[in-house]
Amino acid sequence: MRIVFLRLEGVLQSWGERSKWDDRDSGEFPTRSGVIGLLGCCMGIPREDERLVEISDNLHVAFRADRAGSLLFDFHTVQPKGKLMTANGKYRNGPIVSHRAYLQDASFLALLFGSDYLLDACVNALKCPVWTPYLGRKSCVPTKPLFEGESIEFGSPEEALREWPQPPKSSTSKKPRYDAQCRVWIESTDSAGRLTRQDRLTKVAPRAFTWGRYSEDAIEIERGGA
């Protein structure tokens, strides 16, 4: 099967699962909808464009945590000028109090598989993005190129997650750059996955999502040059 590999690595990244208004969480691995948004950004597709739903319906994902990272919680206030409109349409004075979570120093291998013509479009966009991509939030800048490669040699996402090598470590580093034991998550195309997340984009205006299922496991990665 044809699989496209992405490298999602940065000082900070954030993948909201239940984010709403001033409280912004982050899941422990990238969300499906977040990756679809990243691809749309690279392709130059506006947020309200229905093509994002087409991409979501015709591509599947899997993830490997090559470096799990750690959660960072940010508490801050924003002082608006004048009155601030609230979610119910009323106005209030005073600052906005916001709680936001980030994954710091994490690195994920993301797999895309599905429609060939969409995979072609993804590869072209990842190599030459129209808009600047980011890892969940605009403040989260990738520190490695997003496109890591593609292959038709693997028979399944499970095989690809086990066999695709980790990036080589720096020659000056004495510590392993990535984890030897990695957690993996594979999107289920049926009801077999035990882990559920509300991260399948179904509508863009207004934004709407449905539940997706994932299988979860831990695997050992051969060190080699990694």
pLDDT in tens, 69-85: 999 988 877 777 777 77
Structural contact between residues 75 and 60, judged by C-beta atoms closer than 8 angstroms: no
Report, in this order, helix, strand and coil percent for the chain, each rounded to 5. Answer: 15, 40, 40
Structural contact between residues 90 and 201, judged by C-beta atoms closer than 8 angstroms: no
Q: What is the pLDDT confidence band of residue 21, given thresholds at 50, 70 and 90? A: low
Residues 160-195 have pLDDT tens digits of 999 999 988 766 656 668 999 999 999 987 767 788
Structural contact between residues 135 and 14, judged by C-beta atoms closer than 8 angstroms: yes
Which helix (H) or strand (E) is 56 found in, with range? helix 51-58
Provide CATH code, domain 3-70+104-220: 3.30.70.2660
Query: Where along the chain do its domains lie?
Result: 3-70+104-220
H helices, E strands: number in the chain = 4, 11
Q: One-letter amino acid identity for 67?
A: R
Q: 32-43 vs 51-58: helix axis angle to the nearest 10?
A: 130
* pTM of the shown model: 0.87
